[in-house]
Chain A
Amino acid sequence: MSLKEETEALRRIPLFQNLDPAKLKLLAFMSQRLTFEPGQAVFAQGDPGDAAYIVLDGEAVVSIESPNARIDVARVARNDIVGEIAILCDVPRTAHVTATGDKALVCLKIEKNDFIGMLNEFPNMAVEIMRELARRIVNTNQQLRQAVAAKG
């Protein structure tokens, strides 16, 4: 897969979709493409959050430690992003992410510092990210309201 295709993949991610293609290309150029064999850990719960991963191909399972066992909470696939919270605020990984399925997981790894560097350099990009995060809050609020209404 070439830089061009990776740029396309980045564009399909909601967080990045309104960004200038040239910036996305730079982001893709600065990131590292990584391949994980099925069963290999992308990161573990409690690790320092140093990068975000964008899935280009394959599948991964998100799981969290419970006192008894590891509970799978979600699956991520092509065009999903994982670990983005960790590069925006300094928190340790809140879950395990492990490659799964029958083919290799291909990710684009964006280092935290590079991403922050881009935001510093291109304020428009920061605004776009802010907008996306705000939208998520609106969605969460809405879901909360619906949940409360359904309960009451």
Chain B
Amino acid sequence: MPTRSGDGLERSIYRFVVQFSAKDTVLICALVALAQVFYYISLDLPKNIMNQGIQGNGIAFPVDIAGLGLLSLDQVGYLMWLCLLFLLAVLVNGGLKQFVNSLKGKLGERLLRRLRYLLLARILRFPVAHFRKTSSGELIPMLTAEVEQIGGFMGDAFVQPLMQAGMLLTIAIFLFAQNPIMGFAAISLFPIQAYIVPLLQKRVKELGKERIKTVRKISERIGETVGGIQEVRTLGTAAWERADYTERFGAVYRIRFAIYQRKSLVKFINNTLNQCAPLMFYAIGGYLVIHGSLSVGALVAALSAHKDMTAPWKELLDYYQQAQDAQQKYEQVVEQFQPDNLLPAGLHAPAEAAAQPFDGPIVANALTVQEDAQTKLLEGVSFELPLGTHVALVGPSGGGREALAMTLARLYQPSSGSLRIGSRDMAQISDADLGARMGYVGPNAYVFSASLRDNLAYGLRQRVLAPHEDAAREKILLEAARAGNLPLDVEAQWIDYAAAGATDAADFDRVATEVLAKVDLAEDVFLLGLRGQIDPVSRKNVADAILTARAAFRQRLTGVQADPALKGLVETFDPERYNDNATLGENLLFGTALDASLAGDALAAQPDFRRILDETGLGAELPIMGRKVAETMVELFADLPVGHEFFDRFSFIAADDLPVFQTVLARTVPLPDGSLPADISAEDRARLASLPLKLVDARHRLGLIDKAFKNRALAARKALREKLPEKLRAKIAFFDPDIYNAAASIQDNILFGRIAYGQAKAQASVGAVIREVLEALGLRERVFEIGLDFQVGVAGGRLSAPQRQKLAIARALAKRPDLLVLNDAVAVLDRAAQARLLESLVVGAEGTTLVWATQDTASAARFARVMVFAEGRLVQDGAYAELVARDGMLKELAAV
């Protein structure tokens, strides 16, 4: 019986396995049966080897093999012949087993892949309200760790018991064939085990259930603690939290230990009984041999056969325990994936063709949306919205405007009444079609961990436009289909550039520029581009263009038409001069480290670097200077608590290292002449020497770098340039006016120097000139493209909240939707930015149906039509000017 959702996620793990692997299972079973024949032979042969081959009982030599007169053997030859046969039987049996195991592994892995996929597909179909009750902390372990254990079992579900029972049966038959009494002796203890084990196992099963529940609660709680970490800190409840975990971990401990004890008891009983079985053989078999009714060979064969018997029997019992475990886990996982109101699977069918544009007005008829039995979000709402209308939805929070916006985006399903767009019922349009023609941005829009460009193109991925060119992909997709996964290639061409009005991927940057300008984000992206880095090898033309910008900027700085406003604002890198606005490390290397071995604290300890500095005399000076820096840092920061933000922002020494440096200072009291004592360890010396390398004279103003020192640093720079080994030089991007510096940002490459510290408004003035230079050279677009490469981080963490919202709106605009629903989408922006954005959207969305749900009633004045919602009902609907003049809700709201 299929489940109600029709995707085959059965309640029982066995049903799930049968449903998706019946054919494979039959094949495997046939192979298992075949293997038993050879297994029987391998059991039977030793008896013949003992009796006939070795003892020569009941046989006359030479023996004519197979009675054909082709091969005649003496006793030793015959023994060898039997051994050869034995070897063959063992090999065939083993080979078949190996083949079965490999088949079964494949089966299991496919089933696991399918289960994971089905569960994930279910998550995509959860109703929005369900996510309020379910945390990702619960879902993630289910899809990762828990199904893994289930998957391991699924391959074994039918094969393992068949295989082991088959072996047991073969051995039993063999034993009975030797002597019925022996056979009986071998299996005499099984009934006892078969009775006791399930009895003990029952309790284990209950405990297992409890364990899963408890662990799941814990992962939910961990999610809560992580999410609420700021509250835990500021409310000072860390101790209470820990106590809570103490209790919860204690519960898991008790359950786990109880399970362990019962399991080990089962093991003990089994082992003991298995050990007792040979006793029966020695007693009964020995008696039979003495009385001559059993040959010694048969007894030896029976003993070795029985030894073989313990292994499958143990496997069977293990299987029984695993089966209980897996069934339980499976049930509990599947249970979590059966929420009410699961979206119909058909809505997620991949689109075959381009989505049809909306062909008529949006009509709601007695539309009612219920979250659960009690709460009605919308009640009996009816309206008609001709395409191209701009409408504002206002009203008190929770009054229905949010719910209608979300229903229009089909994040809520109508529980009664209807919502139609033109000729189509909203409930019948597939997600892909709706997503292609409708844009929705909520109050906390999500952006994905990808580049800005990929985020903008994310909304253009409803279907595969052209397959991936690589033939090898087909095999991969075929395997995916075998495991019931969607056989669509993620590497294929998905992005529908035409839908965005672009001709191809390159042209999409133009569209990106347009939509980002509409949401007021273009400037930010340009600045991100200036901060971005490129690989000058793969993007040589961009690097070359930036070098021309560098030359142009230099003209503005020092050329004939030098800009007086720039005077003293930038200190250019000059091989002959010490740069006061760069670190001492940069001044010495006269370049940027490309590799961690030369960056930060590692530089001071680098052997070649140290050797060359020692030769120039600077090597002895650095630790002395470093000691002074350390003294100052200890003086300044010693009173601050560990973890204070000042450490990160200002200190040369991390908070954790401060005590270390305090002891280093105590160990390294300088001699009267200022030099350090000779017995300082190399480690301390390197520690101290690393500090001044970070020193920027103009910024830190510690007064440690004087003119004479600068000259010595310049000499050291020369020495380093000449003497650093080639392999180290390759790890440094030297400051060279004619070479693009791969380790520096675009802006730093144009500057080819450092903005001077201490000059008022230096950043702004220099920024303006860089912009002019780039614009004059037509390079603005290039920098913008580099800005589009910016990786926004997980959940857009590297962007500010307003930037994320703007990006989400731009993403919705990029697909040129017929219907654009903005549900309090600009609430995080400041008022001026909100007003600008609204204006740009209203003007820019000419011809688009724009639905603007907002808590800011005043902004509704910009719309031709206003709908006012309260308590789930549409209370007013009309032109803003008209409604606001009349007594009613809008007048009240506008007056606040």
Chain A interface residues toward B at CB < 8 A: 1-4, 6, 22, 25-26, 29-30, 32-37, 40, 42, 114, 117, 121-122
Contact = CB atoms under 8 A, between A and B. Distances in A.
Contacts of A36: 760
Contacts of A121: 639-641, 644, 646
A117 B645 contact: yes
Interface in B746-777: 757-761
B40 interface: no
Contacts of A40: 760-761
B132 interface: no
A61 to B, nearest CB: 16
A135 to B, nearest CB: 26
Nearest to B567: A37
B760 A42 contact: yes
Contact of A4 (B636, B645, B646, B703): B703
Contacts of B639: 22, 121-122
5 contacts: A3-B700, A3-B702, A6-B701, A25-B635, A33-B757
Contacts of A25: 632, 635-636
Contact of A29 (B644, B650, B759): B650
Contact of A2 (B645, B650, B703): B703
A26 B636 contact: yes
Contacts of A122: 639
B637 interface: yes
Nearest to A28: B701
Given A22-B636, A26-B636, A34 B758 contact: yes
B646 A30 contact: yes
Contacts of B644: 117, 121
A25 B703 CA distance: 14
Contacts of B646: 26, 30, 114, 117, 121
* Contact count band on B: 20 to 34
A77 B255 CA distance: 75
Interface in B665-704: 700-703
Interface of B: 632, 635-637, 639-641, 644-646, 649-650, 700-703, 757-761
Nearest to B701: A3
Given A2-B701, A117-B646, A35 B758 contact: yes
A2 B107 CA distance: 74
A29 B760 contact: no
A26 B700 CA distance: 11
Contacts of A26: 636-637, 646
A29 B645 contact: no
User: What are the 9 A-B residue pairs with the smallest beta carbon separation, nearest first?
Assistant: A2-B703, A26-B636, A36-B760, A3-B701, A33-B758, A34-B760, A2-B701, A30-B650, A35-B758
A55 B732 CA distance: 41
Contacts of A2: 701-703
Given A3-B702, A6-B701, A25-B636, 7 more contacts: A2-B703, A3-B701, A3-B703, A22-B636, A25-B635, A29-B700, A34-B759
A32 B696 CA distance: 13
B698 to A, nearest CB: 9
Contacts of B640: 121
Given A2-B703, A3-B701, A121-B644, A32 B636 contact: no
Contacts of B632: 3, 25, 29
Contacts of A3: 632, 700-703
Contact of B758 (A4, A29, A32, A42): A32
A125 to B, nearest CB: 11
Nearest to A23: B639
A22 B635 contact: yes
A41 to B, nearest CB: 9
A37 B760 CA distance: 8
A56 to B, nearest CB: 11
A55 to B, nearest CB: 13
A37 B514 CA distance: 40
B830 to A, nearest CB: 12
A2 B760 CA distance: 18
Contacts of B637: 26
Nearest to A107: B760
Contacts of B761: 40
A26 B633 CA distance: 9
A29 B636 contact: yes
Given A2-B703, A3-B701, A121-B644, A35 B760 contact: yes
A133 B277 CA distance: 95
B107 to A, nearest CB: 61
A50 to B, nearest CB: 14
A3 B699 CA distance: 10
Contacts of A35: 758-760
A35 B632 CA distance: 25
A22 B631 CA distance: 12
Contacts of B700: 3, 29
Contacts of A42: 760
A25 B759 CA distance: 21
B636 A33 contact: no
A34 B645 CA distance: 23
A11 to B, nearest CB: 16
Nearest to B699: A32
A4 B700 CA distance: 11
A152 B649 CA distance: 56
Contacts of B702: 2-3
Contacts of B758: 32-35
Contacts of A32: 757-758
Contacts of A34: 758-760
Nearest to A22: B635
A37 B759 CA distance: 9
A107 B394 CA distance: 51
A26 B760 CA distance: 22
A111 to B, nearest CB: 10
Nearest to B633: A29
A29 to B, nearest CB: 6
Contacts of B636: 22, 25-26, 29
Tell me which of B636, B641, B649, B757 has the highest count of chain A C-beta atoms within 10 A of its own C-beta: B636
A65 to B, nearest CB: 21
Which one of B641, B700, B759 has the highest number of Cβ atoms from chain A below 10 Å of its Cβ? B759
Nearest to A122: B639
B355 to A, nearest CB: 47
A10 to B, nearest CB: 13
B287 to A, nearest CB: 91
Nearest to A34: B760
A114 B461 CA distance: 46
A25 B635 CA distance: 9
A65 B645 CA distance: 38
Contacts of B757: 32-33
A3 B636 CA distance: 12
A22 B640 CA distance: 12
A66 to B, nearest CB: 26
B692 to A, nearest CB: 15
A34 B635 CA distance: 24
Contact of A33 (B635, B641, B645, B701): B701
A8 B545 CA distance: 49
Given A40-B760, A121-B644, A1 B650 contact: no
